[in-house]
Chains A and B, each alone.
Chain A
Amino acid sequence: MEKLIEFRNIVKKFDGQVVLKGINLDIFENEFVTLLGPSGCGKTTLLRILGGFLEQDEGSVIFNGEEISGVPAYKRPINTVFQKYALFPHLNVYENVAFGLRIKKMSNDLIEPKVNRMLELVGLEGFQKRKIDQLSGGQQQRVAIARALVNEPDVLLLDEPLSALDAKLRKEMQQELKRIQEEVGITFIFVTHDQEEALTMSDKIVVMKDGNIEQIGTPTEIYNEPVNRYVANFIGQSNIMDGIMKKDYLVRFDDKNFECVDHDFKKNEPVDVVIRPEDITIKKKNQGKMNGQVISVLFKGVHYEIIVETKRGVAKTIHLHVLGNEDVYNEEANEKMSAADFSMDIEDVDSITPQDLILRANAQAWKADESEEEISINEVVYDIKAEAGRYPVIFKTANGTSIEADVNVVKPKVIADEKEKIGIQAFDVYKTIDEIKESMAISVDLKNWADAYAWDLETENEVEIDDVRFEFDPMEIEEGTYEVTFVTEGRTYKIHTTDEHEEGELVSIDFGPEDIHVMEKSVG
């Protein structure tokens, strides 16, 4: 295969924002190349630069050995299928396809066989006289492809051409496009954000992110050997774990050492580990690599998607004290005030400011008329010592209205799970009925109010609190004390299998050394 296109260090900025950060890419003759990435990764920009609709700020585009950067779009041997097809509404199907040839001043008797052959290729014989608005999305798509291909370009650019079609039609068109590409034997450059589309059709996939190329490879390479967590995540569903490469052919993750086929990492280098869901098998308890419990089974048509939890989350329970709404009313100044008790970490006492106290007690003052105009609190009286205990705090306004709240200074009770190596802490919460009712997202608010935090005891990294459990209805809550439990995410594995399993079943998961894929930690 001959090298057809070379992108050399392409940089493109829009309004000072760098969209392409030095792209280097070779594209060969007769290749089906897919530029894959999320929206905003620069894939369409790169395509438009090749099409001649945009000019790069730096770098060069070499086509058949010649620099084509200054060549206008209409002189390039490249044609494009646009995202929304951009068919000419004033022309019928035949004239749309013939458009490029008419511009070249080709004679009618030459145009006709070419157009008809193209319409046959895309499966639209007999549609010559149809108006564009009488066609379905899939048919318009085909006209757009025929209109581009009839010019016999060296390269066909396709800018997310299937995104407007429904799922079934999209599958059909994917096969259709592949067939057409094989039949006409030219280079197709296809832009998409759909990984499945990329895997189905491409000879070569270029995975892009934030204006950079992350990986270039065949679909199998990209799927089986993703270079980093980003690519692994983008291509197919994956189990991705933090791990450490102990030595060649030995990787440690989830507190166990596993044999693998990867090598040439530094000793004890932190790595990302990928295991594809279809590479894991479920066995009877104690017969595989790790024991766990089935926590979810989803039927996906051909296979089941099963989630097995091999490690429980760590939980911490606190008390939520719900108080009545006790506004203070100062008749003389016609003002009302409210404030709530709260808990505080003993370590925070030294750095406390009056503003902190107002915020944490949610102290407020307002006019007791219809305007409910907010009044500022201009004095906070407190004497809090760095010792566990309850301390009163008094909030005052300029007009002499005041309210008292208690601060509960506590030593943080950390629950440290030595086995799971996770620490978690949270404080008791004092809230009024109204505050709980007004909460828009009670789980998030409870996490914030309780200052709930979990971390990895080894690395000190934050561990996400995945679940907030409570047994009250926030809209119907009454005065009293309630338990709230914060739970961190356990370790779960996603498994695709055709075997049936039940939720709650105790099982063991198994995988071989060749199923483990070790990747360098991606930067950023």
Chain B
Amino acid sequence: MKSFRRLVYPYLVWAGLLIVLPMLIIVFYAFSTEGNSVIPVIFTFENFARFFSDSIFMEVLLRSVKLAFITTVVCILLGYPAAYFIARLHPDKQEIMVLLVTLPQLINMLVRTYAWRGILLNTSFSPELKVYIGMVYNFLPFMILQIYTSLSKMNPDLLTAANDLGCDEKTAFLKVTLPLSVPGIISGITLVFLPAVSSFFIPKLLGGGSYVLVGNLIENYFVTTGDWNFGSAVSLIMTIVILISMYFTKKFDYDKEAI
């Protein structure tokens, strides 16, 4: 066993170089600003102060969270019935349906989003609505698959037992099926909310320039303005928002509690 442990080293090197180190660099940039010729780097909280003092930045942050939140809720509302429907089909048909759900994912996201741009071009939808449509379309399969997996793992005897103990079909769903699919919903949320809150590509393409989100902001400061210090600070704030929301979603997961 011990000799197998060495197999983890390549990953440790990989993670150290490509994940931990860049993160440290971001932290470094976020807490610093370009100095003068004598002192090249000055440590400061200025970047954070700038973000929280300007209401526009807060607005963008809230807009991003709101977008991710509504996208997630819509994905649950659309995805749950779909997953429930698939899970109750004959096993052969389940495979076909799962394939149908995953198939669009095989096409590059860029191509799909450009297709949506074409579709939505001549509609009178607001830029916001267009972004929502694109977001839900893109993230829905993740939600369906997560919920479907938890539903299909469920022991069908549990429903018979609920029936035996006095539940009609509706009560059995509310008391047994729904609670048991919570882990699926939670991981669905994780897979939808996290990428959604930091997404910049779909809003940029479907919302036009007018719908600015945190993702766009970060992209803008890194790529266009070249202000890496402020960009890093925004990224760090984003990371903290994500960590907090992850903490709260996990709290609902009874499964983790049991361990």
Tell me, yes or no, whether B254 is within 8 Å of chain A by CB.
Answer: yes
Residue of A nearest to B182 (CB): A90
Tell me, yes or no, whether A99 is within 8 Å of chain B by CB.
Answer: yes
Contact B158 A51 (CB under 8 A): no
Contact B254 A86 (CB under 8 A): no
Contact B180 A72 (CB under 8 A): no
Tell me, yes or no, whether B175 is within 8 Å of chain A by CB.
Answer: yes
Of B155, B160, B164, B166, most A-chain CB atoms within 10 Å: B164
Closest chain-B Cβ to A62's Cβ sits at a distance in Å of 20
Contact B163 A82 (CB under 8 A): no
Contact B175 A99 (CB under 8 A): yes
Interface size class of A (residues with CB under 8 A): 20 to 34
A72 to B164, CA, bound (A): 9
Contact B258 A86 (CB under 8 A): no
Tell me, yes or no, whether A391 is within 8 Å of chain B by CB.
Answer: no
Tell me, yes or no, whether B102 is within 8 Å of chain A by CB.
Answer: no
Contact A104 B166 (CB under 8 A): yes
Residue of A nearest to B178 (CB): A90
Q: What 1/0 flags go to B168-202 for Cβ under 8 Å of A?
A: 10010001100110100000000000000000000
Tell me, yes or no, whether A151 is within 8 Å of chain B by CB.
Answer: yes
Contact B160 A53 (CB under 8 A): yes
Tell me, yes or no, whether B157 is within 8 Å of chain A by CB.
Answer: yes
Contact A86 B158 (CB under 8 A): yes
Residue of B nearest to A51 (CB): B164
Tell me, yes or no, whether A411 is within 8 Å of chain B by CB.
Answer: no
Set of chain B residues within 8 Å of A89, measured between Cβ atoms: 180
Instruction: Count residues of chain B with CB under 8 A from any CB of chain A.
Output: 20
Residue of A nearest to B179 (CB): A90
Contacts A88-B176, A90-B179, A133-B258 given; indicate if A103 touches B158 (C-beta within 8 A).
Answer: no
Contact B167 A74 (CB under 8 A): yes
A151 to B166, CA, bound (A): 9
Closest chain-A Cβ to B20's Cβ sits at a distance in Å of 35
Set of chain A residues within 8 Å of B62, measured between Cβ atoms: none
Tell me, yes or no, whether B161 is within 8 Å of chain A by CB.
Answer: yes
Interface residues of A in 109-167 (CB under 8 A from B): 131, 133, 147-148, 151
Contact A100 B160 (CB under 8 A): no
Set of chain B residues within 8 Å of A104, measured between Cβ atoms: 166
Residue of B nearest to A90 (CB): B179
Tell me, yes or no, whether B119 is within 8 Å of chain A by CB.
Answer: no
Question: Per a CB cutoff under 8 Å, which of A73, A133, A147 touches B163?
Answer: A73
Set of chain B residues within 8 Å of A90, measured between Cβ atoms: 179-180, 182, 254
Contact A86 B168 (CB under 8 A): no
A78 to B155, CA, bound (A): 22
A133 to B162, CA, bound (A): 19
Contact B165 A103 (CB under 8 A): yes
Contact A80 B161 (CB under 8 A): yes
Contact B175 A103 (CB under 8 A): yes
Of A73, A90, A148, most B-chain CB atoms within 10 Å: A90
Q: What is the interface of chain A, defined by CB distance below 8 A to chain B? A: 51-53, 72-74, 78-80, 82, 84, 86-90, 99-100, 103-104, 131, 133, 147-148, 151
Assuming A53-B164, A86-B160, what are 8 further A-B pairs, CB within 8 angstroms? A53-B163, A74-B163, A80-B160, A84-B157, A90-B179, A103-B171, A148-B164, A148-B165
Q: 24 A-B Cβ contacts within 8 A?
A: A53-B164, A72-B163, A73-B163, A74-B167, A79-B165, A80-B160, A80-B164, A82-B157, A84-B157, A86-B155, A86-B158, A88-B158, A88-B162, A88-B176, A88-B180, A90-B182, A99-B162, A99-B175, A103-B167, A103-B175, A104-B166, A131-B258, A147-B165, A151-B166
Interface pairs A-B: 10 shortest CB-CB: A86-B157, A86-B161, A100-B165, A103-B166, A90-B179, A73-B163, A80-B164, A74-B166, A131-B258, A74-B163
